[in-house]
Structure 1
């Protein structure tokens, strides 16, 4: 039997797509998973077992859509019991709780998953994929980034990788330790070892970027930044800015040559008892033969993709989950569950549209400024998708021949590439931070900020706020910013609603 879809990997993304296909009920699909359970990544990672994806069961509202704004772990389904917030009250939950959740999600929805089935070879010929004896018209790879990323450092093979190093602090007693990598895994590791080591240096070529400033949640999170205190307060540890040039054995330890960025590339030899590599992961493309091998991007760490999450060189090969961060690398949230769950829903709609002649779901509206404004305001005050996938997903109001339709959660690039067809006039709504938001210190009270609910200067706001752009024939011809609001409510009649209605009316009159 040739399947409509073969999904590789039963992690959160693979299960999310399977749940959408199962609910739709008209496509033949199968998920192949190499482990004996779903979410095998979380059986080992993060190594110190605390997730940094927030979990907030108590929100003060029973609106499930609003609650997903502060629930970064639940997958999307119509079953209210399948919310991760029911599994633990911990704000930063344990990975083992997430394993339980994923197992229950797959079992309760009766998803078609074949476990203990590790994919060895994917081939493509005559419009059909062959995957270890299975055949499918389309393959969706949702394996995540499963191979260690190894920077080109001579002697790097001498380092212990994050995936394999001991997580027992006593194994590092009285040792000098170098941690390569300034991401969350590096800081998580350093924080765990501070009590038993004599010295920890944390090294990397890039500056430390704080997530609370950049709004990219893959940057350093406050929950992992205790180590910075020990550096800045001169408590033995340090952050080294620059390049590790080489790693060499030196008796029972290691000699590391380091080039300091802040000192005009001055090189210094430093000695350590252990070198730990927390340099992240990359996509494992070894399962593809030459007929189906996707092009790679971003230092070969991710598959290169179109705006439809399809391989740029292998038709019918799609990607889901953290692999899709190639589309918004270090800008939005496709690398994380709370972002890619909506990306997977968009992918499902793309697949239905492209391969099964099912138009993007749309709600008809009256062709009046008031109706369009009311629909936009209602959505932006509830949507979790645009909230989580800021700047990447958009709600689109199309206007054509007097007919007005409201389309939810369309990838902006997919719309721009004509994915929903030619649109003479469209109002495209996103939630976005200001263009220079990462340059503003939000805790510096000496820096002027736009006052909340300020009409007329909303375009200068740095914080998250709605932006409505007008597309005519695929070109952006006008845009309107709604004033930011402390409680993220954009429905004040004179501040938000009336200015938007006037903007919409002007654009409709300009047809």
Structure 2
């Protein structure tokens, strides 16, 4: 039997895509190595607190606006199937997410086969063949990989095998009492680990070659989050902890017990130094596991071979009909937007579903007609930027598109920007593409430094200089960028002041169409 679709992975992305295929009556199956949905979250994060916010009380009644502050819910046709019903915690527990995913799979009717550990994927005859460890096989015309970054990232350091691994070390802080500990890595998993040990360990060093970046400054939520950065206080206030900037050159056992580490500093005159530790924990993040693909369909990898390389349609650049969903799609916006997280990739999954519909089922991207008048176009754009959760969460990556041809206009929502500029929607005399963006250099400005000048709120004249999140509208004439208009930033993110937002936008649209 050859299916139309096989999805590998019953995590958040795989479940949401499967729910959409189930609703549409498509021929598909989901393969999951675990005993139920969300296997990854039964183990990670190791200390069981998520850093995806769960803001139950927003003051909004509009469910679309509430999704702006709900980072864990998946998209579905069931308005009651929301994670906010499972926990009141702002940073919820991972076990609550596992419960939610199990209920999501059951209530949407997802057809998943559990205990199916994929060990080989091949494509000898133009059809994907997927083999499981127990000997079962499946065949499909299209394959969607939604496994996430499931493999621990192990840097090529001599002796690194002596370190304990984030994915299986003993998380009980008491086992680290009065010990000197090195944590290798500078991401949230490393700092989550260091923070958990502060009350028991004697000394903790967190080490990595790159500069530490704070999420509140870069607006990339994968950078260090405030919920994990109490450790920085203990470092800067000289409480026996430190962040080391540089590379671990080697690890070896010391004759008198513990470990000897050779460390190369990145920014001091002391280039090499020998350091001693009782315990070493490797927490350098995760990577995509491509080992199951044979030579007939092995996807190209990028970013130090940590992610599969993809087109604007989430398809492998070298294996046709091989698609990716979920956190793997962060290759498209690496450390810039939100495809690495549920609150971002849930909209990417919806976009992928629309792409599959258009390519294989003759169903064009959903569109609604609109009067081709500048006022109507401006009003439609303003309404969307003030309400949409997809544009809000996938800033700089997804955009709404207004196509104008003669006296006819159509409005299409949440299209990957690279798909639009690459011609994925076909030709049009005029296209207005709107997304939400931070201004250039926003990641290099300390938002709490009052000596740094910034554009005033609702300053339409200087809106193009804004660094805070704001709508940007670009006009393409016959596929070529022809003009750009910025809507003035607003403290409450309400871009609906007639003289500041609607009227300047209407004038821009009119000038473009004229």
Give the shorter-chain TM-score range: over 0.9
Indicate the residue corresponding to 2:110 in structure 1: 111
TM-score (structure 2 length as normaliser): 0.98
Task: Quote how far apart the aligned CAs of 1:422 are.
Answer: 1.6
Tell me the secondary structure at the aligned position of residue 460 of structure 2.
coil
Is 1:293 the counterpart of 2:298? The answer is yes
Task: Quote how far apart the aligned CAs of 1:423 are.
Answer: 2.3
User: Out of 213, 216, 221, which is 1:209 matched to?
Assistant: 213
Indicate the residue corresponding to 2:36 in structure 1: 37
- Give distance in 2, aligned partners of 1:214 and 1:49: 25
- Give distance in 1, aligned partners of 2:5 and 2:383: 35
Tell me the secondary structure at the aligned position of residue 105 of structure 1.
helix
Task: Quote how far apart the aligned CAs of 1:310 are.
Answer: 0.4
Count of aligned pairs between the two proteins: 508
Show the 5 A alignment for 1:24-423.
24-25=24-25, 27-132=26-131, 133-251=137-255, 252-264=257-269, 266-423=271-428
Q: Deviations over 1:302-350 (max 9, x none)?
A: 1111111101111000000000000000000000000000000000001
Task: Quote how far apart the aligned CAs of 1:264 are.
Answer: 4.2
- Give distance in 2, aligned partners of 1:265 and 1:404: 65
TM-score (structure 1 length as normaliser): 0.98
Indicate the residue corresponding to 1:20 in structure 2: 20
Indicate the residue corresponding to 2:497 in structure 1: 492
Task: Quote how far apart the aligned CAs of 1:254 are.
Answer: 0.5
User: Out of 446, 449, 460, which is 2:451 matched to?
Assistant: 446
User: Out of 462, 469, 473, which is 2:474 matched to?
Assistant: 469
Q: Deviations over 1:450-499 (max 9, x none)?
A: 11000110111110000000112222111000000000000000000100
Tell me the secondary structure at the aligned position of residue 181 of structure 2.
strand
Indicate the residue corresponding to 2:134 in structure 1: none
- Give distance in 2, aligned partners of 1:349 and 1:265: 55
Task: Quote how far apart the aligned CAs of 1:504 are.
Answer: 0.4
Task: Quote how far apart the aligned CAs of 1:418 are.
Answer: 1.2
Cα 1:448–1:97 shift into 2, 3 Å: same
User: Out of 502, 506, 512, which is 1:507 matched to?
Assistant: 512
Indicate the residue corresponding to 1:481 in structure 2: 486
Task: Quote how far apart the aligned CAs of 1:152 are.
Answer: 1.5
- Give distance in 1, aligned partners of 2:201 and 2:243: 15
- Give distance in 1, aligned partners of 2:287 and 2:35: 23
Tell me the secondary structure at the aligned position of residue 263 of structure 1.
coil
Tell me the secondary structure at the aligned position of residue 90 of structure 1.
coil
Task: Quote how far apart the aligned CAs of 1:262 are.
Answer: 1.5
- Give distance in 2, aligned partners of 1:126 and 1:425: 42
Task: Quote how far apart the aligned CAs of 1:80 are.
Answer: 1.9
Unaligned runs of 5+ in 2: 132-136
- Give distance in 2, aligned partners of 1:472 and 1:2: 43
- Give distance in 1, aligned partners of 2:252 and 2:477: 60
Runs ≥4 residues deviating over 3 A: none
Task: Quote how far apart the aligned CAs of 1:164 are.
Answer: 1.0
Task: Quote how far apart the aligned CAs of 1:265 are.
Answer: 6.0
Tell me the secondary structure at the aligned position of residue 192 of structure 2.
helix
Is 1:9 the counterpart of 2:9? The answer is yes
- Give distance in 2, aligned partners of 1:440 and 1:20: 41
- Give distance in 1, aligned partners of 2:97 and 2:336: 26
Tell me the secondary structure at the aligned position of residue 10 of structure 1.
coil
- Give distance in 2, aligned partners of 1:153 and 1:475: 48
Task: Quote how far apart the aligned CAs of 1:124 are.
Answer: 1.0
- Give distance in 2, aligned partners of 1:125 and 1:271: 52
- Give distance in 2, aligned partners of 1:371 and 1:484: 22
Task: Quote how far apart the aligned CAs of 1:101 are.
Answer: 0.1
- Give distance in 1, aligned partners of 2:406 and 2:458: 35
Q: Deviations over 1:243-262 (max 9, x none)?
A: 11111111321111111112
Tell me the secondary structure at the aligned position of residue 451 of structure 1.
coil
- Give distance in 2, aligned partners of 1:69 and 1:447: 28
- Give distance in 2, aligned partners of 1:421 and 1:460: 32
Task: Quote how far apart the aligned CAs of 1:158 are.
Answer: 1.0
Tell me the secondary structure at the aligned position of residue 69 of structure 2.
coil
- Give distance in 2, aligned partners of 1:24 and 1:464: 36
Tell me the secondary structure at the aligned position of residue 58 of structure 2.
coil
- Give distance in 2, aligned partners of 1:423 and 1:201: 57
